Amino acid sequence: MDINNINETVSNKDDILELLRRVQASVITPEDALVKLQSSPFEDLGYANIDLHRGLRKGVGEVIYGQNKTPEQILGIVTAMRDKGLKNILITRISHESADLLIKHIQMDYYPIPRLGIAMKDDSKPKVGSVVVASAGTSDMAVSEEAALTAETLGNLVIRVYDIGVAGLNRLLSKLDVLLSAKVIIVVAGMEGALASVIGGLVSAPVIAVPTSVGYGANFGGLSALLTMLNSCASGVSVVNIDNGFGAGYIANTINRMGL
């Protein structure tokens, strides 16, 4: 954000530090700094209350869940966030119809496989740490990419290791050096969901397991993979909900950035 623009919101911890440095250097007056810090913590659009101070509390700004929102509602939310100077606005689970409308009015990159958009994308800051996203099969790619893109957008260095499921352990073992060097690993698997336990037993890094709804009838829409992961005998494995790639990417960001 342009910290000299009094109309823009101080939306994250980096903004506050920059603001304080500018006060110290007499670039901005304490009174103007106070106005920035007191700006409304949310904006009421009638159909949505945008949490403009979430970045201050959580370190990450509000993410828009696009499913079941109209294209016009999503556009209104993103436009309001953009006008407050927010960058890297994540929009998850959006349709092609919504994406087409958004691209006509704002700067947005759209990724059709995970159905994810990134508005006002800013890659100026270097990526940090090491997050590995490992998937059991190509059919898990939509959820895997949702996790990977979420983690990347939040500023993490992400390495993708796809299609290394337990049906061919030689594929997994060939990537062992990558897994062992990770600070946190996201494991995405459907069917019986065994990959998370296998990787969890090989590495010291925390493992975030993501069950997917991929599988035949007895998979029960991802329930079998979820139960396998919850019952993992490998220590250090945590589990998010079925198909929740975004949640895994968000948690991985929190772990990866600890101590930085």
Residue 142 sits in a domain of what CATH number?
3.40.50.1970
Q: Is 3's pLDDT higher than 50?
A: no
Per residue in 158-203, pLDDT (tens digit) is: 999 999 998 888 899 999 999 999 999 999 999 999 999 999 999 9
* Mean pLDDT computed over 106-117: 95
| Boundaries of domain holding 216 | 128-256
For residues 87 and 120, the answer to whether their CB atoms sit within 8 Å is yes
Give the C-alpha separation, 256 to 216, whole Å: 34
Residues 238 and 147 in one domain: yes
Q: Is 37's pLDDT higher than 90?
A: no
Q: Which two tokens stand for residue 226?
A: 């979820």
* Structure confidence at residue 5 as a pLDDT band (50, 70, 90): low
Q: Which residue has the tokens 């606005």?
A: 89
pLDDT of residue 6: 44
Instruction: Choose between 35 and 65: higher pLDDT.
Output: 65
When divided into structural domains, the chain yields a total of 2
Mean pLDDT score of the chain: 88
* Structure confidence at residue 218 as a pLDDT band (50, 70, 90): confident
| Residue 193 DSSP SS3 | coil
Residues 58 and 154 in one domain: no
Per residue in 88-97, pLDDT (tens digit) is: 999 999 999 8
pLDDT of residue 205: 96
Give the C-alpha separation, 77 to 99, whole Å: 14
Q: Which residue has the tokens 């594929």?
A: 171
Q: Which of 58, 87, 119 is the last residue of a domain?
A: 119
Give the C-alpha separation, 57 to 60, whole Å: 8
Residue 153's closest CA among 66, 77, 249? 249
